[in-house]
Structure 1
Amino acid sequence: MPKAFQVRITAIALALLTAAACALGVVNFLREIHFELPTDGVSWMEIQGGLKAERVPANSPAQRAGIRPGDVLIAVDEHPTPRVATLNRQIWRHGVWSRGTYSIVRNAKAHFDVQVIFEPTDRSINQGMRLIGLVYLGIGLYVLFRRWTAPGSMHFYLFCLASFVLYDFKYTGELNNLDWTIFYANLLAQALQPALFLHFAVSFGRISNSLPRRILSAALYIPGFVVAALQIIAFTTWSATEQLHHRLDQIAIGYLSAFYVTAAIVFYTRYRRARSGLERQQLKWLSRGALIAVIPFTLLYTIPYMADWDIWPIVAKLSGLSLVFLPLTFSWAIVRYRLMDVDLIFKRGVTYTLATAGLVGLYFAVIAVAAELVHTRLPSLRAWGLVAAIVVTSLIFDPLKNTIQARVDKLFDRRRFDYRSTLVDFGRSLSSQTDINLLTRSIVERLQQTLLVTRVALFTSSEPGAPLHLAASHGLNDVPVNDLSFLHFYGQARHLFLETPQHAMHLTEEQQATAAALDLNYYLACTVGEPGTGAQRTIAVIGLGRTSRGDFLSSEDIEVLESLAGYIGIAIQNAQLYTRLQRQVTEFERLKEFNENIVESIHIGIFAVDLEDRIESWNAEMEVMYATPRAAALRRPLNEVFSPEFLGEFERLKTEATTHTLYKFRLPTPSGEVRTANIAIAPLLTRDFVPVGRIVLVDDITDRVNMEGQLAQAEKLSSIGLLAAGIAHEVNTPLAVISSYAQMLTKHAGADPRLSPILEKITQQTFRASEIANGLLNFSRTSTTEFTHLDINLVIRDTLALLEHQMKTSRIKLDVELAPNLPLIRGNQGKLQQVALNLMMNAKDAMFNRAEGYLRVQTEAVGNNVVLRIGDNGSGIEPSHLHKIYDPFFTTKLQPAVGQRKGTGLGLSVTYGIMQEHNGKIDVESEPGVGTVFILEFPALADVTRLGNEASGRTIHA
């Protein structure tokens, strides 16, 4: 199989395996959150006759119920519990926060029942384990992507993936298909992960792949699969007791710890024997990480668990979290420590040269001493004395070599390592900080901590050309800074040195006072390049004094500081730019919000379009007026939002450079309404008077136009009222003459049976015509707000007299039932007559063109109220309109049929106001197609006797 194809197959398999593991882990986590497993908190073990409480944790449900260690459980809710599995099924059936009755036997004598409230199982440790698993997976992926070809990287990733499955997959107890999948995957990971770890330890850094080594590596996985097979058989085949399950869990934990400890020992042994610098450096971290992770886990968890000791939950959690050190140290060893051959070989050569030279000298010294002793005092040893000298020399070689290597490393690396760490730390702090105040304080603190100087100051310039000022300092308390003009750097000079700041004779007096007050010996310029010109500008100056020992800084210190000064200048410039940008953004946002508030608060619809006639702005008033949400209008062309009528006018005017207004333009809306508006269309220009679109202002004047029409109609009605009053007044005069002459003729005719009835009818009709004229005159007369005692029946009769002719011509039957002896009410006759007239006219309009229309008017006394009902069998009112019928200008008669009057929308509104003014109530009952009944209630006057009350019966007028 080609290697490239094999690599692709491996990559695809790993990707699919990783994706499946992540998906199952997420689903398992979500299921665990939503599924609560009830528990009583006790560790039960099967014995003869029931279950024995081995451990009863403090504050557990069973402990609060009174169960103690050693108690025997024989039944739950009278169901025998011979096995722990039986008990778990009973608890699961009850559910969380339910109550179960435990039958307990204590000391083989006492038998009693206790009530146990089951609580959710504490699975908080699972989240810590999941965190460890995620760390494993994340670091494994990082190592795999960064060091795909590194030796051991693939093996390390498989180990991390198995660790992720081991620590993240936790079966919930639902025991469905998903739960069993999680369970078996966890068992597989439990078998593989320790073996992978030990295999990694054994094979790390080894190139040999001989058959014996492969057999040994394969043999490492046998114990894990045996443990997993035993657990699977115990679950599926054997009727395992809790004791057996516990022992199998102990074996699994023991297997895990044994392999971890063995791997740690292997790493440490190989670290002690390693000769390669890279391998030794890697193994140093691997062995330390393994020991840091394994020792707490083994001592604090594995040993107590296998010994059946009680483990505090917090200790168990901390011991489990210690395992996170494994992937952290492993990834650091693989990614970070790659050989720097020259340095290592050089240091190694120096080390071995010095060690060899020292040992040669020591060897000859020992030989000389041994020879002297052999020849003078122990002549019998001879050759054995030389052998002893060689053995002693070989034994002290390694310690001596290690000591010399440590000294050489310290000699060669110490200052360079310090400065390198300083640069790294500075780089991190400078690149991650954008707040200018925090940045300057951080720079000062870091310089003081690194160089151990007593006084540090940082001077910055806020704007190009602005003078320097003290931004942050250490060791300077209330120092007057008057003149910093001496901080100029000429030519290639990057720093300024003042051996005695108090006696800087080349400075002016004021500059000398400032330098003496600062008491700084070194000033280093932080420069940045000017955009375009490339010239260097000093943006900040670093000032430093002597060290805490009173020493000046070394040339190497100054060299590092000069390197850092450029980075510090760039960081300060970036922070200043960011601060100015943030200030401008804040100001821009404030102005933008202010302008948007103006546009949104104005009671005129405003929208803007770009040069392609797409809507770019749409304020709240447009949303309300045009019945189109902002989201539905923005970025859409005008032709998709507005009607062709508006588009035609817009196309005609959009090329004009001036503002044009469309007066009283009828604008159809998507809701079906037609709004009347004054529309102004103006060009939208930039500051340079470049057109970028059009702005349209829509002033909705629909209500104003309607009000103007209604005012004109009211003026017309007022004129008609005045005309009707004059006509009624003029009609009364001839009616009076006709009535007088008819009465005179009646007297002269005497008892003439032929003429008397005719003259009597003439007289009655003149009286009736006079009453109609007087009623019209009274209705047209301007009413006062004076309230008097009224009989509602008289008001109804006067109103019916005015409408009698209209009802007849409309073929509407009148059904009038006025209750006799009604209590009087307090009101204004003209206003109440207007109420009755409005309701009757509305009823007449509702019965337009109805073949058998009838108007029913009824009065009655109900309790302390006088009730007036005016009903019809007209078209009725739609339920959706019932809550709006009293709104001003609301009418459904916008387009009346021929012969029907057009509504103004003020009749019921005025009626409602008059009823409120009379402390009355108005209610309506309506059903579309059946009819409408208005019910008016007036407070009756108490202790008022009604005089001359006429009896009213049921009267029907054709």
Structure 2
Amino acid sequence: IEMRWLLDRAWLVLYAGSYLAGGAILHLSFRRADDPIIRQQLKWLRNGVFAGVLPFVALYAAPFVLGLVPTPAMRLSVLFLALVPLAWAYSILRYRLMDVDIIFQQGYVYLLATIAVLGIVSLLVLSLARRDELSPTAVVLLVLVAGFVFEPLRNWIQQQLDRYVFYKDRYDYRVTLVGFARELSSEMDLDRSLRGVGERLVNTLQVSHVAFFLADEEGSGFHLHSTLDREGHPRTLNFSALDLSFLSTPGQRPYLFFESTRRAIDVVSREMPASVRTTIAELDLTYYLPCVFRGRTLAWMGVSRTAKGDFLSSDDVELLQTLSGYVAMAIENARLYSSLAAKAEQVERLKEFSENIVESINVGILAADLEDRVESWNSRIERLTGVPRHAAVGRKLSDLFPAEMALHFDRLRADNKVHQLYKIPLRHNAVNGNGDSGRETLVNLAIAPLVTKDGQRIGRLVIIDDVTERDELERRLVQADKLSSIGLLAAGVAHEVNTPLAVISTYAQMLAKQVHGDEQKSKLLDKIAKQTFRASEIVNSLLNFSRTSSTDFTDLELNRVLRETLSLLEHQFEKAGVRVEADLAEPLPAIRGNAGKLQQVFLNLFLNARDAMSDVSGGTLRVTTVVNGPSVQVEIRDTGPGIARDHLDRIFDPFFTTKTARKGTGLGLSVTYGIVEEHGGSIEADSRPGEGAVFRLEFPAVRKTVHA
């Protein structure tokens, strides 16, 4: 009896001491906790333990241990123990101690694992031949087997129960959710990333809806980015003016929890403004988890209760906390990618804008590095040189331009000043090896250093301006000015010379009649008359050259004027051994002009060709007409000895001639030039020694009136 009494007191000490120790642990945990929810939970658990155990220890356990016989009044103190489960039940319902199911799940796992290990040990014991005599070595081995088998067996049982009992169809989602979160950072589309996270959360945790709140660009707060319902569709809110000021830096709290979002009795939201409480009620989200990356809160992830109205377990919350870190990383990557894409697009747009400017400029532009290798080559310089961009970039300037121009580049290579070079000849396609047969253009060069914004020289810029047409226009202006001045002079000279020529001619004829019988004097007087007549022709030519009177222009057919002019000279061509080839385009648009003056133009050109080919015993005169856009072009080509290059610039000057004495006055081409200009046309000559000469005339065609 005394042993039983002693064991009862020892059991009571163990029972009461265990409860008191548990209460002390809860009290210490309460003092260390910062989260208000956890403090409320621990407070009710601690108060329940002390409210139930302390009266029982003071009124019953302590007197009994000290040797007092329990009285009926002492036995009534056992009723205080009912406060322990009552307080715990209230805490579970009031402060979300819903992890009890986790405790039970772990208990099931450990129970089944223990039973399985005992079964294994029992089978091993039964397999022994002599069960009543187990050696110490056998016992140690059995204990080691049980210790090594227990943990793997418990994990396997946990996995099977999670798959087939606890989570069932949600198990695969939970397993793949973290793997999906790890791969989330590789997705650059933020909308698609967050939608994928929301759909996975809804399917995994069976919650009603989720939402994502992203930080504003100016960092002043957060805004609602998207919200998804149970079906994965965007959720419509009835209240648009959301007050999200409660989403601030998380601080010491791992997440925000609102127990009753529809009622203002929650511990956390009780002291918040009315607009915030209205927002919390409208969103109806129980959990708000910060998505933190490198100390910055980039977003908040909101999750509601489950579809059945239950809170999430601690495992689920821990899963959300893990996921929030990956979501923050994905948001940061997406924003960086978006920012990089925007900057790349801006750079590309600026580059394209700059290239458009360079391409739109009507001058050739190239940029070369310090080694004179081309880095930029616009389309205008492609047309000037005949070298495409892909063939020019990376090559040296000396490989792309003629030797004469390359010498200028080398001479000015080390100079940091801007240099201008004028009227430098450049042959088209010179780089391809056929420069001798390419057309030659005159260009102005501007060579300037290429520097960075810091003033550091990184190469040089070469600007090439084609001035061929400008030079031709200047030449024509000089020619026209020259003709105008000489025309005025010629008109004055002609009028002054005509009078004495008429007097000399009249008196010479009178003297000839008086010395009719004197043959020697008659010959002298005849020579005087002929030279007077020649001088008169020269004077008339000067008058024609200087004549500025208006001319009647009509629509005429140029082919007809050419045929009539050729027919007039047909006999002279045959006599000189010149073969005529006429390739006249039909039909040819009409031009505005004077047939008589145009016939004079073609007569001068045909006679010059005849005279040139008569020196080489004949040749071929080829006359061609073509339509060249809005103009009509005439080409007159002969096979004579040609015109020297140094004479080409002077052939339209008055009194300039390469013919022998008494074969020309040097006014024919000058008059021709003036008549062509009077018709609004142009004339140019080209020749290579030994290959004949070619004259190209161009006249504007008559525009036909279109009647409606």
TM bucket (normalised to shorter chain) is: 0.5 to 0.7
| Shift in Å, 1:350 | 6.4
Match of 1:833 in 2: 600
| Aligned equivalent of 2:310, options 533, 539, 551 | 551
Match of 2:456 in 1: 690
Q: Does 1:537 align with 2:296?
A: yes
Match of 2:153 in 1: none
Q: Secondary structure at the match of 2:297?
A: strand
| Aligned equivalent of 1:778, options 528, 534, 544 | 544
- Preserved contact between residue 783 and residue 830 of structure 1 (Cα < 8 Å): no
| Shift in Å, 1:768 | 5.4
Match of 1:707 in 2: 473
Q: 2:651 and 2:360 mapped to 1: Cα distance?
A: 31
Q: 2:638 and 2:321 mapped to 1: Cα distance?
A: 85
Q: Quick one: structure 1 residues 632 and 656, their matched pair in 2 at CA, closer, same or farther if it must change by over 3 Å?
A: same
| Shift in Å, 1:466 | 4.2
Q: 2:634 and 2:336 mapped to 1: Cα distance?
A: 59
| Aligned equivalent of 2:497, options 712, 721, 731 | 731
More displaced 10-residue stretch of structure 1: 714-723 or 750-759 = 750-759
| Shift in Å, 1:410 | 1.5
Match of 1:516 in 2: 281
Q: 2:481 and 2:641 mapped to 1: Cα distance?
A: 20
Q: 2:695 and 2:405 mapped to 1: Cα distance?
A: 44
Alignment of 1:99-110 (within 5 A): none
Name the aligned partner's letter for residue 684 of structure 1. L
Match of 1:873 in 2: 620
Q: Does 1:468 align with 2:222?
A: yes
Match of 1:613 in 2: 372
Q: Quick one: structure 1 residues 510 and 446, their matched pair in 2 at CA, closer, same or farther if it must change by over 3 Å?
A: same
Q: 1:892 and 1:608 mapped to 2: Cα distance?
A: 46
More displaced 10-residue stretch of structure 1: 544-553 or 434-443 = 434-443
Match of 1:387 in 2: none
- Preserved contact between residue 885 and residue 891 of structure 1 (Cα < 8 Å): no
Q: 1:632 and 1:407 mapped to 2: Cα distance?
A: 71
Q: Secondary structure at the match of 2:326?
A: helix
| Aligned equivalent of 1:596, options 349, 355, 358 | 355
Alignment of 1:445-524 (within 5 A): 445-463=199-217, 465-474=219-228, 475-501=235-261, 502-503=263-264, 504-524=269-289
Q: 1:757 and 1:789 mapped to 2: Cα distance?
A: 50
Q: 1:815 and 1:912 mapped to 2: Cα distance?
A: 29
| Shift in Å, 1:424 | 3.3
Q: Does 1:897 align with 2:644?
A: yes
| Shift in Å, 1:427 | 4.4
Q: Quick one: structure 1 residues 523 and 892, their matched pair in 2 at CA, closer, same or farther if it must change by over 3 Å?
A: farther
Alignment of 1:222-241 (within 5 A): none
Q: Quick one: structure 1 residues 877 and 611, their matched pair in 2 at CA, closer, same or farther if it must change by over 3 Å?
A: farther
Alignment of 1:400-479 (within 5 A): 410-411=164-165, 414=168, 417-428=172-183, 430-431=184-185, 433-463=187-217, 465-474=219-228, 475-479=235-239
Q: 2:257 and 2:387 mapped to 1: Cα distance?
A: 73
Match of 1:717 in 2: 483
Q: Secondary structure at the match of 1:494?
A: coil
Q: 1:891 and 1:740 mapped to 2: Cα distance?
A: 43
Q: 1:896 and 1:423 mapped to 2: Cα distance?
A: 90
- Preserved contact between residue 454 and residue 547 of structure 1 (Cα < 8 Å): yes
- Preserved contact between residue 827 and residue 918 of structure 1 (Cα < 8 Å): no
Q: Secondary structure at the match of 2:454?
A: coil
Name the aligned partner's letter for residue 526 of structure 1. C
Q: 1:674 and 1:789 mapped to 2: Cα distance?
A: 37
- Preserved contact between residue 351 and residue 405 of structure 1 (Cα < 8 Å): no
Match of 2:135 in 1: none
- Preserved contact between residue 417 and residue 449 of structure 2 (Cα < 8 Å): yes
- Preserved contact between residue 363 and residue 465 of structure 2 (Cα < 8 Å): yes
Q: 1:827 and 1:764 mapped to 2: Cα distance?
A: 32
Q: Secondary structure at the match of 1:541?
A: strand
Q: 1:566 and 1:812 mapped to 2: Cα distance?
A: 103
Name the aligned partner's letter for residue 562 of structure 1. Q
- Preserved contact between residue 710 and residue 904 of structure 1 (Cα < 8 Å): no
Q: 2:242 and 2:518 mapped to 1: Cα distance?
A: 134
Q: 2:680 and 2:407 mapped to 1: Cα distance?
A: 53
| Shift in Å, 1:557 | 1.1
Match of 2:393 in 1: 634
Q: 1:620 and 1:683 mapped to 2: Cα distance?
A: 21
Q: 1:932 and 1:615 mapped to 2: Cα distance?
A: 39
- Preserved contact between residue 895 and residue 902 of structure 1 (Cα < 8 Å): no
Name the aligned partner's letter for residue 359 of structure 2. E
Q: Secondary structure at the match of 1:609?
A: strand
Q: Quick one: structure 1 residues 893 and 694, their matched pair in 2 at CA, closer, same or farther if it must change by over 3 Å?
A: farther
Q: Does 1:579 align with 2:341?
A: no
Q: Quick one: structure 1 residues 351 and 734, their matched pair in 2 at CA, closer, same or farther if it must change by over 3 Å?
A: farther
Q: Quick one: structure 1 residues 815 and 697, their matched pair in 2 at CA, closer, same or farther if it must change by over 3 Å?
A: closer
| Shift in Å, 1:618 | 0.4
Name the aligned partner's letter for residue 330 of structure 2. A
Alignment of 1:132-531 (within 5 A): 353=116, 410-411=164-165, 414=168, 417-428=172-183, 430-431=184-185, 433-463=187-217, 465-474=219-228, 475-501=235-261, 502-503=263-264, 504-529=269-294
Q: Quick one: structure 1 residues 526 and 886, their matched pair in 2 at CA, closer, same or farther if it must change by over 3 Å?
A: same
Cα distance per residue 1:2-35 (max 9 Å; x no partner): xxxxxxxxxxxxxxxxxxxxxxxxxxxxxxxxxx
Name the aligned partner's letter for residue 285 of structure 2. L
- Percent identity, aligned pairs only? 39
Q: 2:312 and 2:191 mapped to 1: Cα distance?
A: 27
Cα RMSD (Å) of the superposition? 5.3
Q: 1:898 and 1:612 mapped to 2: Cα distance?
A: 38
- Preserved contact between residue 202 and residue 208 of structure 2 (Cα < 8 Å): yes
- Preserved contact between residue 606 and residue 696 of structure 1 (Cα < 8 Å): yes
- Preserved contact between residue 255 and residue 290 of structure 2 (Cα < 8 Å): yes
| Shift in Å, 1:417 | 3.7
| Shift in Å, 1:616 | 0.3
Q: Quick one: structure 1 residues 716 and 581, their matched pair in 2 at CA, closer, same or farther if it must change by over 3 Å?
A: same
Q: Secondary structure at the match of 2:213?
A: strand
- Preserved contact between residue 446 and residue 463 of structure 2 (Cα < 8 Å): yes
Q: Secondary structure at the match of 1:539?
A: strand
| Shift in Å, 1:608 | 0.5
Q: 1:692 and 1:420 mapped to 2: Cα distance?
A: 58
- Preserved contact between residue 452 and residue 458 of structure 2 (Cα < 8 Å): yes
Name the aligned partner's letter for residue 504 of structure 2. I
Match of 2:146 in 1: none
Q: Quick one: structure 1 residues 552 and 931, their matched pair in 2 at CA, closer, same or farther if it must change by over 3 Å?
A: closer
Unaligned runs of 5+ in 1: 1-345, 361-403, 530-535, 817-824, 854-871, 920-927, 937-958
Match of 1:681 in 2: 447
Q: Secondary structure at the match of 1:486?
A: coil
Q: Secondary structure at the match of 1:526?
A: strand
Name the aligned partner's letter for residue 730 of structure 1. E
Unaligned runs of 5+ in 2: 1-108, 124-157, 229-234, 581-591, 654-668, 682-689, 699-708
| Shift in Å, 1:505 | 1.6
Q: Does 1:625 align with 2:387?
A: no
Q: 1:627 and 1:878 mapped to 2: Cα distance?
A: 29
Q: Quick one: structure 1 residues 668 and 758, their matched pair in 2 at CA, closer, same or farther if it must change by over 3 Å?
A: closer
Q: 1:604 and 1:935 mapped to 2: Cα distance?
A: 29
Q: Quick one: structure 1 residues 930 and 591, their matched pair in 2 at CA, closer, same or farther if it must change by over 3 Å?
A: closer
Q: 1:773 and 1:422 mapped to 2: Cα distance?
A: 109
Q: 2:360 and 2:593 mapped to 1: Cα distance?
A: 46
